[in-house]
């Protein structure tokens, strides 16, 4: 279940009218609202940080496409040979 909200939507929802609040409570309500808006603005982003696709992700995707007959045997082996060579080269450089 995904229940993500945008920071600005939360701020807009919180930024409500203070009509009807007794005059002596207005300062408290405004201070509290400013603190909450500050906290909302400083929440971390819900968008994941981009990451490099690793060998396991690539090989699993290739295997899935081969099993689902998206790739022929020849295409699968040709691409996997290139993938294996690329990752072997990267490991050698490290």
pLDDT digits (tens, 9 = 90+) for 54-68: 999 999 999 999 999
Is 86 within the bounds of a domain? yes
Reduced to 3 states (helix: H, G, I; strand: E, B; else coil), residue 51 is: coil
Instruction: Give residue 82's Cα distance to chain centre.
Output: 30
Shared domain check, 36 and 11: yes
Tell whether pTM > 0.75: no
Is 88 within the bounds of a domain? yes
Range of the domain at 84: 55-93
Shared domain check, 59 and 89: yes
Structure-token pair, residue 39 = 């906290």
Shared domain check, 83 and 59: yes
Residue 2's pLDDT is 53
pLDDT digits over 74-91, tens only? 999 999 999 999 999 988
Mean pLDDT of 21-25: 62
H/E run at residue 82: helix 73-93
Shared domain check, 37 and 11: yes
Tell me how many domains the chain contains. 2
Is 78 within the bounds of a domain? yes
Is 83 within the bounds of a domain? yes
Choice between 88 and 50, residue whose per-residue pLDDT is larger = 88
């Amino acid at each position: 279940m995904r229940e993500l909200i945008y920071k600005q939507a939360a701020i807009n929802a919180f930024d409500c009218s203070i009509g009807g609040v007794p005059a002596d409570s207005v300062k408290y309500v405004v201070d509290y609202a400013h603190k909450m808006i500050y906290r909302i603005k400083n929440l971390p982003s819900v968008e994941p940080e981009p990451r490099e696709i690793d060998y396991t992700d690539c090989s699993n995707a290739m295997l899935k496409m081969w099993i689902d007959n998206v790739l022929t045997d020849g295409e699968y082996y040709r691409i996997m040979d290139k993938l294996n060579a690329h990752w072997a080269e990267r490991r050698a450089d490290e």
